[in-house]
Chains A and B, each alone.
Chain A
Amino acid sequence: MLPASEIAVRQPEPAPEPAAGSPPGNVPDRAWAVLLTVLGLGVVVTAALIVAELTRIGAPALGHAGVKDFVTNTTWDPTRDLFGAAPYIYGTLVTSGVALLVALPISVGLALFLTEMAPPALRSIVSFPIALLAGIPSVVYGLWGLFVLVPILRNPIEPFLSRTLGFLPLFQGAPIGLGYLAAGVILAIMILPTITSISIEVLQTVPGSLREAALALGATRWEAIRLAVVPYARAGIVGATMLGLGRALGETMAVTMVIGNSPTIRASLFAPGYSLPAVIANEFAEAAGDMHTSALAALGLILFAVTVGLNIAARILVRMSRRGPARVAA
């Protein structure tokens, strides 16, 4: 969930800084300034602690297997101290990929509909259910996924897909329901509000004059969107997508409940798999020994590094697109 407040444009405030001019001998003011600075630094300390703790706990396993082997090995057997993260990385990427493929067109379409096509009143009405969708706890999504989505996928959706698209390896195999596809679909539902709300924000920064110019030249509304609005907002929409992807990669409970929890690599989307957050959730509390705990923390470290990288890139893109025309749009 990403409340709009987190990514809202910060108002530039060229306010004078009276604090800087406070008299040097004023002890309570000094103390107050120090207290605020310490609390502010608390945020940075928190971040540093996260990195330090993950590295501290995860290092033994990474050292034991070697980083490259840890990432590429496919066998995960804690009883033999064999830790290969490949099935989990694969499952995380596949489910997030499915989620993006499903969620992106719907979210962008929805954002375009609400900003460009629908009457403004509808936008304020629809913003409530979108916020609601973002506020539902992930374990409730998991519950719904397990008892509603999975049976629907098992029959009729997966048999239908294998009848029509069964020539692709993606859609072969037994329609179990639990698996990559179920996890991908539930992730799509969960990241939809993120991508939609940020895209709406980005689209609202597109100057009206661009639209008007296109319309005045005789473009239909869709042509104005395609030729004037979307190119301007492209970088921001890409950023919104990356934030959604970051959320999908780290989502734990809903995926754990519907992915099937099988540490294997399969081409078929119908097959049960596993993901990084899911294996941490399932095994951490009952880890068989320190090396197992360490290996799980190393998985967490990988997850952390990837999501932080994505977040930084995404936020830079969203900021750039707010600042002006799509300079960065390739």
Chain B
Amino acid sequence: MTLTARRAANGIMTGLCGLALVVALIPLVSLLWLVISNGIHGLSLDFFTALPAPVGETGGGVGNALAGTLYIVGVACLIGVPIGVGAGVFLAERGDGQLGDAIRFTAEVLSGVPSIVVGIVAYGMVVLPMRRFSALAGGVALAVLMVPTLARSTEELVRLVPQSLREASLALGVPQWRTSLKVILRTALGGIMTAILLAVARAAGETAPLLFTSLNNQYWNWRADQPTASLTVQIFNYAVSPYKDWHDKAWSAALVLLLLVGALSMAGRLLSRSRLR
């Protein structure tokens, strides 16, 4: 090949790879723009606070779905955060043996399990014995999804704590458990809060594992043993319905969901940034 041809090949391939960037960004820009432009005029105070209206009636909102999402995610945190963070601390502090490797590997593999499969498991563990769909079942499903990610990121964060801090504490005669809790975890706390917020953001966007665990609810619900609405399931139901005004509500609800997920991730990132300084 002549030098010209080789240079041309170089130029063409550079161009193609640059084009990949443009192609990758088109759907993102289109999606964000359409969610905002289609969703914005449906937003009002009512939309955030009201119960869903029947077809054809104006008004109505996703108040109960928004509250339900927060409620289910809250339940998931109560179950998932202690296990996930605890497992992460275990991996960092005592996870250098075979057991640690096994747990680490399991966590890695679990993070690839499809969320719908986790929904089936929560159905079998909670819905079948209780004989009803419930916020608890949805929370269990989301907790299972949170644990592997939390464990992995907590481990990394705890390992970042300087060894000298631990040694200083132990040298002062502080027992191991107090050192873990008050020195190590305390130091890593900012990072762990970030990891939790990111996991919560991810859980709040899950739909599939909620479809047959927390199901849905047209009304407000604050009981863990009752079916509960969620933003994501509501968006799905509105989107696949045949009604134009429900489609509009799906876009508005999607905007609310994106704002919620975005705010949670943003809070997480800001928190870790302020901690680093």
Contact = CB atoms under 8 A, between A and B. Distances in A.
A49 B63 CA distance: 34
B41 interface: no
Given A40-B86, A110-B20, A50 B114 contact: no
Nearest to B167: A18
Interface stretch (A61-69, A154-162, A248-256, A321-329): A248-256
Interface string B129-163: 00001000000000010011101110110010001
Contacts of B20: 105-107, 109-110, 113
B120 A117 contact: no
Interface string A28-57: 110111011111111110110110011011
B147 A42 contact: yes
A135 B149 contact: no
Interface stretch (A76-84, A168-176, A206-214, A299-307): A299-307
Contacts, number: 299
User: Which range contains the number of B residues in contact with the other chain?
Assistant: 35 or more
Contacts of B18: 113, 117-118
Contacts of B94: 17, 19, 33, 36-37, 40
A243 B232 CA distance: 25
Contacts of A56: 124
A176 to B, nearest CB: 16
Interface in A298-321: 300, 303-304, 307-308, 310-312, 315
B204 to A, nearest CB: 8
A225 B12 CA distance: 14
A164 interface: no
B56 interface: no
B163 A15 contact: yes
Given A17-B94, A54-B117, A138-B205, A5 B111 contact: no
A43 B106 contact: yes
A187 to B, nearest CB: 12
A124 interface: no
A3 B149 contact: yes
Interface string B84-111: 0111011101111001101111111111
A105 B16 CA distance: 10
Contacts of B103: 40-41, 43-44
Interface in B177-203: 177, 180, 195, 198, 201-202
B114 A304 contact: yes
B175 A28 contact: yes
Interface of A: 1-3, 5-8, 10-11, 13, 15, 17-19, 22, 26, 28-29, 31-33, 35-44, 46-47, 49-50, 53-54, 56-57, 105-107, 109-110, 112-114, 117-118, 126, 129-130, 132-133, 135-144, 146-148, 189, 192, 196, 220-223, 225, 243, 246-247, 249-253, 257, 277, 280-281, 284-285, 296-297, 300, 303-304, 307-308, 310-312, 315
Nearest 10 CB-CB pairs, A to B?
A: A250-B114, A39-B86, A137-B205, A32-B177, A40-B90, A109-B20, A113-B17, A311-B112, A252-B208, A220-B10
Interface of B: 6-7, 9-10, 13-14, 16-21, 23-25, 27-28, 30-32, 34-35, 82-83, 85-87, 89-91, 93-96, 99-100, 102-121, 123-125, 133, 144, 147-149, 151-153, 155-156, 159, 163, 166-167, 170, 175-177, 180, 195, 198, 201-202, 204-208, 211-212, 215, 232, 235-236, 239-240, 247, 250-251, 254, 257-258, 261-262, 265
18 contacts: A3-B153, A29-B175, A33-B94, A36-B86, A36-B89, A39-B89, A40-B90, A40-B91, A40-B103, A46-B144, A47-B109, A49-B125, A57-B123, A142-B236, A142-B239, A285-B211, A303-B114, A308-B113
